[in-house]
Structure 1
């Protein structure tokens, strides 16, 4: 696990793939949906994002992402510049992981000047979006209502205990990554439990694996505005 988008995609895929399930084994064939008119466009948005993430094509990736993720990344950017470890001590582990990853993997000059959308683009370009995790996911049943849609997620053929959310912005369906970030903490806890580690120990291990001990310690310090 070398890359993160707050490790949400990669951890959620891993947790789902490893956790026992009481539901019947599912095939990887997407289920038919009652919202037949909307499901092709929703699937197209997901497939476009997946291909962009795997190709590290940030320009295409941001074109199919809904607006909430850009505001979230702007918050991460500001914290990367100014927040001390004490400031972040009560923050969710997912947020802390995102801040540390930006410090360790993005040029400080970019963090100081990039717009929210530019920062997400750079994150995709540099492979910080959990592309290995999302490559194992596909959509099942899609339910659309008005300008929102939810899609059942299949992880290596198993139905995941969460869904992807899509919103229609300016007439185009886009993937809303925000709910995945909100699930990052439970994903951390699940994988940490499987490895007999506390969430904090697991975060330390991820940072050490990504950067080595010396840089892992450095990313806990603010970069300065």
Structure 2
């Protein structure tokens, strides 16, 4: 499992190759797809900070909570997070030093994640947005990875008349997965997350996740 601050949402908005997008039948579907395409372009150009304004308010709030918990010393800030958020915060501590975390905004971290290759060289090119269903101010698109349906959909919310990407369900799904794996391993969640992180190389000088 690759640690990255954006790993929980970049697959929702990744660029596609070899996948023909289905026709968008309604203006709303086209608007949702346009938001996806804007994020896709930003990611392909490694402009992670340009994706942040395309996220819902709750999504940005979640990412800021992860960043803020990673900035604070000790375990207490981490324990207040759900497992997927804790995984991201502990990963940030591992790959970024304290001074970097203090000065970097969420957008800065997004830029760093892309430039550092936290997502791997092919992740952006392997995903695509399939059919979109709009229901009121919410929409969901079938996320395709390697031309196969992913475990989670790409969710969108209309805020102020503009469609934005909602990553909260990705964190919820990730937390459920981590809770289940931790229970099966007989470890508490933080210990299980630390074990996952220990399998990855840490940046020299970064705080080791506990």
**TM-score computed with the length of structure 1 as normaliser:** 0.67
Which stretch shows the higher mean deviation, 98-107 or 203-212?
A: 203-212
d(CA) in 1 for partners of 2:112, 2:45: 13
Alignment of 1:50-199 (within 5 A): 50-82=40-72, 84-85=74-75, 88=78, 91-113=81-103, 120=110, 123=113, 126-128=116-118, 132-188=122-178
Given that 1:94 and 1:181 are in contact with CA atoms closer than 8 Å, whether structure 2 keeps it comes out as yes
Report how far residue 89 of structure 1 moved: 5.2
Aligned length: 201
Q: Which residue in the other structure is 1:220 paired with?
A: 209
Any idea what SS the aligned residue of 1:153 has? strand
Given that 1:139 and 1:151 are in contact with CA atoms closer than 8 Å, whether structure 2 keeps it comes out as yes
**Can you list the C-alpha shifts for 1:101-126, whole angstroms capped at 9, x where unaligned?**
22233453453355555555555565
**TM-score computed with the length of structure 2 as normaliser:** 0.70
Which stretch shows the higher mean deviation, 67-76 or 130-139?
A: 130-139
d(CA) in 2 for partners of 1:130, 1:147: 33
In structure 2, the CA distance between the partners of 1:143 and 1:125, relative to structure 1 (3 Å rule), is same
Q: Which residue in the other structure is 2:4 paired with?
A: 4
d(CA) in 2 for partners of 1:197, 1:148: 38
1:209 aligns with 2:197: no
d(CA) in 1 for partners of 2:121, 2:5: 9
d(CA) in 2 for partners of 1:160, 1:87: 31
Segments of 5+ residues of structure 2 without an aligned counterpart are 13-17
Q: Which structure has greater helix proportion?
A: 1
Report how far residue 173 of structure 1 moved: 1.9
Q: Which residue in the other structure is 1:22 paired with?
A: none
